[in-house]
Structure 1
Amino acid sequence: MAKAGKNTVRIIGGEWRRRLLSFPDLPGLRPTPDRVRETVFNWLGQTLDGLDVLDAFAGSGAMGLEAASRGARRVMLVEKAAPAAQSLRNQARELGMSRVEVTCADALAWLMHCRDSFDVIFLDPPFASELLARILPLAAERVRADGCIYIECGQWPTIPDGWQLMRSGQAGAVHYGLLRRVTDES
């Protein structure tokens, strides 16, 4: 098991609670802080039993591997940086997370060609990029009717038509929120 340090993040709940995940030192790779993850998984429910999850900018794997620990049926981790993608594969294998799939690809290009649908999609692109505004409409097409999209960003993007920000928070310069489709009951 990894020792707590600069390039580690701890799984905070579920089957692999307290396990440390190590990740490579890469520019721009910043795991979602424990406090934010705890809030997000409180919003989603403590377990994700039977849900299909996509972590489109997986990075350290903090969000996607947390979802796997909390019972997600399938977790797809998409990561562009080859060292980070390999680290994610190694972490999933070492922990015996057989429901985790890792693909080394550009998230925008991958989602453009994706035909799968998901219950939860995590979008936490590189902080200073314009990727969130570009990928959000694509993600909205891949979410099941009662699903949601988690976003993490420096400033709020334009929310796609038919969607609303249901929950939100801020930790320092990071804004985070949960989007759901607008329904008659909303």
Structure 2
Amino acid sequence: MKKQKKRQKKIRITGGFLKNRVLHSVNKINVRPTRNRIKQVLFNWLQQYIKNSICLDCFSGSGNLSIESVSRLATSVTALEKKYILVNKLKKTLKIFSITNISVFHTNTLWWLKKNGTPYDIIYLDPPFYNKILLNKSIQYLEQYNWINKDSIIYIEHIDNNIYIPKTWKLIKNKKIGIVSFSLFYIKNYII
């Protein structure tokens, strides 16, 4: 019996000046990039906010959301990733694509967030699905350590709807595709 080849994960940029470019393969790494269909919905939601924004990608993995943001004219992105192999792959991809406005940090996101920060315009929270504690702590630290302000927009991708959402956050949009729920929030005092 012939062995079937494992299907390669292709991560494509879905819009902007890098549309249809393919990111480095992440086949042998335990990573779950945001699916293209979800990404298209997300960036349709963000289309009026993404241009000239300063973004924070808290669990960047392959850099999928970071590169998509820059492709759609975000001014800059700070990408945080714990796995060294993913940091290296992302840096190689940035070099190949000639992207200079994404800063990649090999760090634990919780350690990074647990210090006083400067607010970002758009924050992506897409941690490993089954680690609700990691997601809840990240949300808590964004609030506690000044990473958000009245103009911040926060994106959360999750499978468990029982997550901690601060009272000051207001849900703008949410959707579910398959088992994945994804939500967009802003701070209540800010009217969109």
TM-score (norm 1): 0.91
**Of 11, 17, 20, which aligns to 2:22?**
20
The residue type paired with residue 117 of structure 2 is R
Change (3 A) 1:47 1:185: closer
Gaps of 5+ in 2: 1-6
8 Å CA contact 2:119–2:152 kept in 1: the answer is no
2:114 aligned counterpart, secondary structure: helix
1:75 aligned counterpart, secondary structure: strand
Give the C-alpha shift of residue 180 in structure 1.
Answer: 0.8
Where in structure 1 do 4 or more consecutive aligned residues deviate above 4 Å? none
Give the C-alpha shift of residue 46 in structure 1.
Answer: 6.0
Higher alpha-carbon Rg: 2
Match for residue 119 of structure 1?
A: 121
Alignment pair present for 1:173 and 2:179: yes
**Higher percent of residues as strand:** 1
What are the residue-to-residue correspondences of 1:77-156 with 2, within 5 Å? 77-113=79-115, 115-129=117-131, 130-140=133-143, 141-156=146-161
8 Å CA contact 2:8–2:25 kept in 1: the answer is no
The residue type paired with residue 165 of structure 1 is L
Match for residue 182 of structure 1?
A: 188
Give the C-alpha shift of residue 117 in structure 1.
Answer: 1.9
8 Å CA contact 1:125–1:132 kept in 2: the answer is yes
RMSD value, Cα: 1.7
1:89-108 CA distance string (max 9 Å, x none): 11111111110110010011
1:127-158 CA distance string (max 9 Å, x none): 11121111012223312321210000111212
Change (3 A) 1:131 1:184: closer
Name the CA distance, whole Å, in 1 between partners of 2:190 and 2:155: 21
